[in-house]
A and B are shown apart, each in its own frame.
Chain A
């Protein structure tokens, strides 16, 4: 069964203090790994899709990287508006639950001014 584990569960940073969030996964053939941002009471907002080990993608202060067993979301010089829950999800090739995203429990990021 596909599994995703995110760490830490919660992270508190000072504005400008860079850090990384971890997403460890096991999947029977990775089709894609996805990062989403979720604000309280809202739906997840798409950030990145990564397809193969070694791939990297960047957007503003965020950079996502992928290895065969984990993904990192690096946050450089974060601002208070980066505070949110960050969700990681994997999609497997084939299987009976086609299209299924398996999510981790998320990392709650709080950035203090």
Chain B
């Protein structure tokens, strides 16, 4: 069984640029959540997708957007990058049902983004 994978592993961008991060969910999982983890902090919830629909959103501005595809893989897009966007971006997948679309979330290795 393949776990959650993310690409790229590391990325360097400059302020004002746009970035797309990718995530493949664990086999059999239809729910994907994205988190931002600053150095020395716990992960912060960005949003969750269930069956291609945004299913919940944290306190992040609209320049953070996402997609989920029919195969349940997902993208996180960040526009107009700011220095404070430098962080580890984590994707987590969970099996989900129509009643409980979350269940236990299993994390990928993350993408380390540095904004200069």
- Chain A 1-18, CB-CB to B under 8 Å as 1, else 0, gives 000100000000000000
- B15 at interface, CB cutoff 8 A: no
User: How many B residues have CB within 8 A of the partner chain?
Assistant: 31
Pair count A-B, CB < 8 A: 74
Known: A97-B57, A102-B45. A43 touches B31 (CB 8 A): no
- A45 at interface, CB cutoff 8 A: yes
- Chain B 76-104, CB-CB to A under 8 Å as 1, else 0, gives 00000000000010101010000001101
In the complex formed, the residue of A with least CB distance to B59 is: A97
- B105 at interface, CB cutoff 8 A: yes
- Chain B 14-40, CB-CB to A under 8 Å as 1, else 0, gives 000000000000000001010100001
- A21 at interface, CB cutoff 8 A: no
Q: Are A106's CB and B48's CB within 8 A?
A: no
Q: Are B104's CB and A99's CB within 8 A?
A: no
Q: Which residues of A contact B (CB under 8 A)?
A: 4, 31-32, 34, 36, 41-46, 49, 87, 89, 91, 96-106
